[in-house]
Structure 1
Amino acid sequence: MSASSSQASPSSSSQYHHFVPRFLLRNFAVFKNPGKVVPKTSKKGKNRTPQPQKLTVLDLQRGEFKQGDVSETFGIVDMYRDFEEVDRDQQKLERELSVLENAAADILARVKRIHDAGKNQVQLSRKEKDTLRRFLFIMMYRNSSFAKRFQTSRKDYDADDRVEMLAYMDERGFQSPRDVWFANIRAFLKVELDEDWPNALENLSRRAYPSDARWFFTHIQAFFIAFCTPKKTEEEFLLTQNAYGVYEGPTSAGPWTDYHRFAPVSPKIMIVLRSLLLPFAGVEQDAGIRQMLESTKSMHPDPDKAGSFLEDMPVSRAGNNYSRVINGRVELLSTKMSRDKHIFYFPFFALDHDHVQKINMICLENAHDTSTIVYKSPESLRTALEFYLTDKTPGFKVICGSRPNDSDYLHRMVREMGLLSHVRREDEMRPYLQLLHKFARQLGSTVDLEYNVLNGLGSIFTTAMRTE
């Protein structure tokens, strides 16, 4: 079966387009009837293991546990359907995306197979690494939040870049933000990654919205890939609806900094994209990089609190066959090896309990306005929920005020002043936290829900931990 995220049908018919492809969803799937599955017998008389078909999910809209079909989870009908195509090939973009998805599916299936076999690293060619980097960016760029941003009319487009976007549309003759989105995705699929960075950026900027073109290359150039796995066998990573669009880092009224981004591959494998601004094991941090990190922090209202929640995570860049590290410095080998011969050695980093659950916590914190959370085992879900519900880290689970008027005022003020990264109105966040607490209780948990309440006193804002 193809790894494409569309279901077979004529190009002019409606299709359910996944923003998390089915080949990834299957890694989180359980059997159709857990505990009652009888292995099927093939024509040769040998038992065949039944293929996973169902996902176990938290339905945040109905407030219940349920099973969902892989084919009907994390997608939108006609997300990539181009109704303006006069040649009636309205699903062309989906088929173009499927080529990249199939290539990424092959790479990640091998990564999973090697990890599951107990190996400590996986080798990727430069072409495979670049394919994976392209795929990860497009996964982020086409998530459900971006679909909502672009799938609107010119008149109703209200993102922060409204003025720039409308000017760009006028310049290029685009009729809707959706047309810009489609053109950008096509450009990201086609841009050559072997070109020198300045030339590649210039070429991409001629075909894509310039700020998003710069974002594409920042994503490629400023982060490294780390394959992470739980050290404890009973722990797992969750898959939230918007996981591929989640980042870790400070957000202020204007600037935001993403130190880490996340891409769940399976309950046991999480791709972490880590900023090169942060230190990592084995290599001495360059003085210029340290200066850039401090400069980045200084853009936020409170630079001392603008660091990374996961800075001490024990990950590092992949090794390769064309350089080596000597006394903390990377030195190129004296070889004229061509780029297509480059091999990268990616270790599997075993993360301890705190780092695994901090990643889950970041995903849960950002899932408050989504509808579905996918998990594999009830035990691992309970562990993740308990860690999040009882964590006391400042900046997480922050709710504005206790009365509607206070909540509205405080929420507006702190967002305008950029004082806290993730402040939600009480009527947005508190019901979500209470729902997660209810789920935890149904799984046998006895922990209390703890969250931060933001109160105002004149121009001074204070937070206090509340337990219920």
Structure 2
Amino acid sequence: MSTHSLGLKVPVIMSSSAQTASPKPEYQHFVPQFMLRNFAHKYTGPQRSKKGNKKKKQADTLYRGELVVNNVNLRAEPMTIEETKVSRILGNYDMYQDTSQPTGQQQRQIETMFGKLENHVSTIFRRIVKTHESGEPNIWVTREERNSIRKFLFILKYRGSTFHRRFHHETSDEYPANDKSKLQKYMEEKNFKRPVDVWFHGLKTILNLKMDTENWKQELVKSMYSDDAMWFLMHSEMMYMAICTPSEPDAEFILTDNSYNVFEGPNTVVQNPATGKFHDSGWTSFHEFAPLSPKLMIILRSNLLPVPEEDKHPRIRAWREEMRKQAVDDWYGASQQSNLADLPIHKARNNYSQVVNGRTQLLPGEDGAQLKTHKFCFSFFPITEEHVNKINLILFDNAHRCANIVFGSRDSFFKTLEWFMTCTPTLGKKIIGDAQEERRKFLMNLAILMKSLGSAREPVWTESTAPAMSDFDKMHALERSLREGLADWMLSNKKELEESPIPPRGGRFAYMSLGGSDQTFLEDMQEAQRMLKRRIKVDVNSQGLPEADRIEARERLIEKYFTYPSNILLFFVKQVRYMVLSRETGGHLERAMENPRSQPEEPEDIIAQALHDKMTLEKLNRLMYKTTMNDIDRTKDPISERMLKECGIKEVESLALSQEMIIRQHDLGMIKGLPFHFINSDEKIELLTRVMAKPKFQAALTGKIEANLLQALEDVLFGISYPTPPIKPPI
């Protein structure tokens, strides 16, 4: 089921976190106090304290004039609006306390590093807030300041409560997320004892990251857990930043525990009928959010969405359209749009380019290099109350696992809460996925809170069930398993390729022989999946057309695929095999899913390893594709549609051509033992050519193909690519 989310995109959490003991517990914020102060006011009520021991009374006692925030306590029954100290909200005890270190100072090293980054960024954010309050329309920041903001925003995501629940465990067996096996392999390689050590290492790596060096991206991927490193790159490089402010004086933004972890964009959830578990089968982030104050919100917008001044350049527009097609259109349909697509925002202007006739151009003397002297001008974009409500809706909709919702004024909060609870449910509020009871209880409690604040309106939401996994979703699950197996292999067994006296064979090694690596296989897997989706859509969209037109449409697309990198096409033909054979032979996919890491060698693997450096890319791709199709369908038609003399292997082409000339000098009618009496003369000549060329095949390629692959290549070519009757040469 596709929902336009509202998604919280983090690995699936399936258990509670472990707690790290500390002799002197320290309350550590995942939302810094300098940001909370933007939502705060001075306490004016009576001095009060909660029941408990003396230390707790001292920590929770409120004093007049002390900074507090308005917040909804989501864990109270019923939910209540409270005033809470800035120093005691949106945090947890000893979140970053590294108990593997011997001294207290070393144990709180990460908190100290956070403090340095926060001190630096807080000056930038205070300047932003004060500039906005003074009525200025925009603010200039340096490249270094912008990079610091981008790093800080990701840190807010990565150090938050969601990631704390994901990583804060003492053993890898307790790790609850869906990348468990990959993380365990990474921990083994890097000698990490606990999942939390991986988290601490990642936090330190990003905190120490210098984003002004030429190779910082490559160094980042090498230095930390690759999945999270790629997440940082996507967050910082594939989205641009804008600052929004409500245009109406009484509209305000809210702040939840996980504000920095949610996104807006399509998200597809399916339920596995075998396990009952829910899985994301696809998601795309159009927008992410970083509340600065009730009146300021940083929006991160995906580069998949149009940028008019850049899209005036044909090459940039074509690149953006292709990226969107692959990430969105091929998965969710071209009609899938962002609910915030009409936000009146654009990329920051700068001091090294200008917009001329609606098109971005570099200033004289600029060559595209990123310099420290560059500055960026961020406008404060006024947005309507409707847009503010839509953004708050996304935060509300993902707050079912939060402890608090912080807000500025009660009147503004009441208005946005009532809008969220009573608006039509098409934008969210779907009870679906792996937390249905949590979501239902959350919405019911918010409805009670709304009524207690004086609303007479009725809340609405949608009860929805996720569909069972289709064959395509099953194949997607297999792809995830294969990808995981390949990732494990890439991370742990590269030496096998280097040390083996005979080149090892199989799908994984075939992929590497085509140029694939641990840096590319994730992208290649995803691209192959998108290719399959496009191929399926051709059949769906051409239903009702003449069959000749449908065939032509399929062939046009496949011809385009022959120009793709061979390592991607290899994955594509394998996914076609899994999909088709599961349906045709009843259970191929299920058998493959039982043990996806130990699959038999397939013919396209042999072709890839034997011929990767002997043919042009297009010919190699054509041969791999045709061989796989024949392997799938060889029982239906033993005669290939193409000639052996056009196979793309020059030695075999010469051999086949010479044998055909000999055959044509004889009377076909005098040749006995040829099967398929019903085929025409050209087809008979082709079959005879194969029969005569087969015994001479190995001699033609001896010394040019590795000996241990030569027989296997012969079996593939004459058994699958160009099926050959088992008869003796008649001439």
**Smaller-chain TM-score bracket:** 0.7 to 0.9
Tell me the CA shift for residue 194 of structure 1: 1.5
Q: Do the aligned partners of 1:183 and 1:207 also contact (CA within 8 Å) in 2? A: no
2:44 and 2:65 in contact (8 A); partners too: no
- Please show how residues 199-218 of structure 1 align to structure 2 within 5 Å: 199-218=215-234
Query: Counterparts of 2:438 and 2:204 in 1: how far apart (Å)?
Result: 36
SS in 1 for 2:456: coil
Change (3 A) 1:392 1:304: farther
2:448 pairs with 1:430: no
**Structure 1 CA distance, aligned partners of 2:396 and 2:129?**
24
Describe the shift of the 1:369–1:448 C-alpha distance in structure 2 as closer, same or farther (beyond 3 A). Answer: same
2:117 partner letter? L
Greater share of helix: 2
Superposition map of 1:386-425 within 5 A: 386-394=418-426, 396-399=428-431, 411=433, 424-425=435-436
Give the Cα–Cα distance (whole angstroms) in 2 for the partners of residues 146 and 53 of structure 1: 28
Unaligned runs of 5+ in 1: 1-10, 37-49, 401-410, 413-423, 461-468
Question: Secondary structure of 2:298's match?
Answer: strand
Match of 1:149 among 154, 166, 176: 166
Distance 1:107 1:12, change over 3 A: farther
1:237 CA displacement:
0.2
Deviation of 1:280 after TM superposition, in Å, equals 3.8
C-alpha deviation, 1:395, in angstroms: 5.4
Q: Which amino acid counterpart does residue 60 of structure 1 have in structure 2? A: L
Q: Select which of 285, 289, 297 maps to 1:258.
A: 285
Q: What amino acid is the match of 1:323?
A: S
Q: Give the equivalent residue in structure 2 for 1:172.
A: 190
Give the one of 60, 65, 70 matched to 2:74.
Answer: 60
One-letter amino acid of the counterpart of residue 123, structure 1? W
Greater CA drift, 368-377 or 106-115: 368-377
SS in 1 for 2:174: coil
Cα 1:446–1:178 shift into 2, 3 Å: same
AA aligned opposite 2:302: S
Instruction: Output the TM-score relative to the length of structure 1.
Output: 0.83
Summarize deviations over 1:334-356 as a string: whole Å, max 9, x none.
Answer: 22597121111000000001111
1:235 to 240, 251, 275: 251
What CA distance in whole angstroms lies between the structure 2 residues aligned with 1:395 and 1:232? 22
- Alignment of 1:18 with 2:29, yes or no, is yes
In the aligned structure 1, how far is the partner of 2:392 from the partner of 2:467? 33
Distance 1:438 1:163, change over 3 A: same
**Change in CA separation of 1:127 and 1:452 when aligned onto 2, cut-off 3 Å:** same
CA contact (8 A) 2:66 2:85 kept: no
Identity of aligned residues (%): 34
- For residue 189 of structure 1, the aligned residue among 169, 186, 207 is 207
Tell me the distance in 1 between the aligned counterparts of 2:405 and 2:256.
5
Partner of 1:454: 464
Residue aligning to 1:70? 86
Residues 109, 289 of structure 1: alpha-carbon distance in 2 compared, 3 angstrom cutoff: same
Amino acid corresponding to residue 295 of structure 1 in structure 2: Q
Contact persistence 1:281–1:314 (CA under 8 A): no
Aligned-CA RMSD value: 2.3
Q: Which residue of 2 aligns with 1:5?
A: none
Q: Distance in 1 between matches of 2:132 and 2:45?
A: 24
In the alignment, the residues of structure 1 paired with residue 388 and residue 248 of structure 2 have an alpha-carbon distance, to the nearest angstrom, of 9
Greater Rg over alpha carbons, structure:
2
Q: Which residue of 2 aligns with 1:82?
A: 98
Shift of 1:430: 2.2
AA of the residue aligned to 2:352: Y
The whole-number CA distance in structure 1 between the counterparts of 2:324 and 2:415 is 34
Deviates more, 1:123-132 or 1:212-221: 212-221
Q: 1:245 aligns with which of 254, 261, 273?
A: 261
The two structures have a TM-score, normalised by structure 2, of 0.54
C-alpha separation in 2, matches of 1:458 and 1:149: 27
The CA deviation at 1:363 is 0.1
Equivalent residue, structure 2, for 1:372 = 404
1:378/1:443 contact within 8 Å kept: no
1:111-163 deviations in whole A, cap 9, x for unaligned? 00000011100110111111111100111111100000000131111211111
The CA distance in 2 between the partners of 1:291 and 1:69, in whole Å, is 49
Q: 1:95 aligns with which of 89, 95, 112?
A: 112
| Structure 1 residues 351 and 156: alpha-carbon distance in aligned structure 2, compared to 1, 3 A threshold | same
Shift of 1:431: 2.1
CA 1:305–1:159 in structure 2 vs 1: closer, same or farther (change >3 Å)?
farther
**In the alignment, which residue of structure 2 is the partner of 1:268?**
295
Name the stretch that deviates more: 358-367 or 51-60.
51-60
Contact 2:425 2:460 in 1 (8 A): no
Change (3 A) 1:85 1:459: closer
Q: Which moved more, 1:165-174 or 1:306-315?
A: 306-315
